[in-house]
């Protein structure tokens, strides 16, 4: 069921699907789904740079937090991993990853689960009235699911009233309900909302997404040059304030994308990654994940990049030597 079937109030009527009122509402278009398809979810979750997210969710589902905040990535990736988490929480097969095939997974994927409430802030702001409408339902146990899912996509689109209303909802214990909030960066949300959430940071936007990466071109060039020659990078990173967390994260995301292409054999033979075998590529993926974790732990971005560059350069040299 799509948005046009929805009725006013928190829950659609006869088919009993997720909330589609207010911010969630938009014309029904079966050829234009609001959430990523199962194929997209499978492809995205299988990418090497998303392995960290998959593993994290597999552990987290054992004792799911009431609220999960997904930041980083692109809008589509945040929506995709929100849906992935909703499926994982309720998958009938109870595996470390959702099966996307059982009745529960299908209902979430098709947005027709009775216990799935979606507020879509991607196109218009999430309104306080939308949240109020669903609030009464939250006192009841889920109808069919193990865990009811309330998803607020791009929650930064909430006005202050709506954000405070959501905060009140989160302040009360909601057994059987999991909230998912997405936002480009946690700083875009009320700190009190953030402090009540488990935060999961997706790899930062990839080239070709709507977020431009033109300002990292010089860094990419300097890094590639360093990997080949071992020179010319630290003179740039040592300039005070030359690098911020976002720039390094996007540089890493760019490398992760090239790595993903190299693993499936889709990279040009002149590219430096094409010299590496699968084992070396997987080690490279681990190194990139370590770098992202350090960034998340607020290690100085210039130090993170220098560490990463040194590790990569050494890896390439060892390989040539061996
Ligand atoms: Zn399933």
130-135 mean pLDDT: 84
| Average per-residue pLDDT for the chain | 80
pLDDT of 262 > 80? The answer is no
What three-state secondary structure class fits 232? coil
Residue 85 CA, ligand 1 centroid: distance in Å: 11
Q: Which of 40-44, 159-163, 166-170 has the lowest mean pLDDT?
A: 40-44
Residue 107 CA, ligand 1 centroid: distance in Å: 10
Residue 141 CA, ligand 1 centroid: distance in Å: 21
| In contact, 33 and 26? CB cutoff 8 Å | no
At 184 the pLDDT is 82
Categorize the per-residue pLDDT at 100 as very low, low, confident or very high, splitting at 50, 70 and 90.
Answer: very high
Residue 108 CA, ligand 1 centroid: distance in Å: 10
The structure tokens 């935060």 sit at: 199
Residue 87 CA, ligand 1 centroid: distance in Å: 6
Q: Which of 25-34, 58-67, 182-191 has the lowest mean pLDDT?
A: 25-34
Q: Whole-angstrom Cα distance, residue 155 to residue 255?
A: 29
Residue 90 CA, ligand 1 centroid: distance in Å: 7
Strands 198-202, 116-120: pairing kind: unpaired
Residue 101 CA, ligand 1 centroid: distance in Å: 5
Residue 253 CA, ligand 1 centroid: distance in Å: 29
128-138 mean pLDDT: 85
Residue 42 CA, ligand 1 centroid: distance in Å: 13
pLDDT of 48 > 60? The answer is yes
The predicted-structure confidence for 184-194, as pLDDT tens digits, reads as follows: 878 788 889 99
The predicted-structure confidence for 200-222, as pLDDT tens digits, reads as follows: 988 865 544 444 556 677 888 88
pLDDT of 17 > 60? The answer is no
At 58 the pLDDT is 94
Residue 306 CA, ligand 1 centroid: distance in Å: 42
At 160 the pLDDT is 85
At 82 the pLDDT is 96
Nearest by Cα to 163 from 201, 121, 122, 202:
121
Residue 77 CA, ligand 1 centroid: distance in Å: 20
Domain covering 3-202 in this structure, CATH number: 3.40.50.300
The structure tokens 């911010």 sit at: 23
pLDDT of 57 > 70? The answer is yes
Nearest by Cα to 153 from 46, 98, 73, 43:
73
Residue 57 CA, ligand 1 centroid: distance in Å: 15
Residue 66 CA, ligand 1 centroid: distance in Å: 21
Residue 106 CA, ligand 1 centroid: distance in Å: 7
pLDDT of 229 > 90? The answer is no
Distances (CA, A) of 93 to 65, 81, 111, 134, 159: 20, 18, 19, 29, 39
Residue 50 CA, ligand 1 centroid: distance in Å: 20
126-144 mean pLDDT: 87
At 215 the pLDDT is 65
Residue 213 CA, ligand 1 centroid: distance in Å: 36
Residue 116 CA, ligand 1 centroid: distance in Å: 15
At 88 the pLDDT is 97
């Amino acid at each position: 069921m799509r948005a046009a079937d929805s009725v006013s109030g928190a829950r659609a009527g006869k088919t009993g699907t997720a909330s589609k009122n207010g911010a969630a509402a938009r014309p029904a278009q079966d050829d234009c789904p609001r959430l990523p398809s199962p194929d997209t979810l499978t492809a995205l979750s299988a990418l090497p740079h998303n392995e960290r997210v998959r593993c994290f969710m597999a552990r987290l589902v054992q004792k799911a937090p009431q609220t999960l905040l997904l930041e980083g990535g692109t809008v589509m990736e945040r929506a995709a991993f929100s849906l992935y988490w909703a499926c994982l929480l309720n998958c009938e097969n109870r595996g470390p990853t959702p099966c996307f095939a059982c009745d529960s997974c299908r209902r979430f994927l098709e947005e027709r689960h009775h216990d799935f409430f979606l507020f879509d802030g991607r196109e218009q702001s999430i309104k306080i009235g939308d949240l109020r409408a669903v609030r009464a339902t939250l006192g009841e146990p889920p109808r069919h699911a193990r865990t009811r899912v309330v998803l607020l996509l791009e929650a930064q689109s909430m006005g202050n009233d709506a954000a405070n209303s959501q905060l009140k909802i989160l302040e009360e214990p909601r057994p059987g309900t999991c909230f998912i909030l997405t936002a480009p960066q946690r700083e875009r949300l009320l700190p009190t909302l953030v402090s009540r959430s488990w935060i999961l940071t997706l790899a930062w936007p990839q080239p070709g997404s709507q977020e431009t990466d033109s300002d990292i071109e010089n860094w990419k060039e300097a890094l590639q040059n360093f990997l080949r020659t071992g020179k010319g990078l630290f003179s740039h990173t040592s300039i005070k304030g030359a690098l911020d967390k976002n720039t390094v994260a996007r540089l890493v995301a760019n490398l992760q994308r090239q790595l993903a292409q190299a693993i499936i054999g889709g990279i040009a033979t002149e590219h430096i990654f094409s010299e590496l075998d699968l084992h070396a590529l997987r080690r490279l993926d681990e190194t990139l994940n370590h770098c992202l974790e350090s960034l998340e732990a607020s290690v100085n971005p210039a130090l993170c990049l220098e560490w990463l560059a040194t590790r990569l350069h050494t890896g390439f040299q060892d390989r040539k030597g061996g």
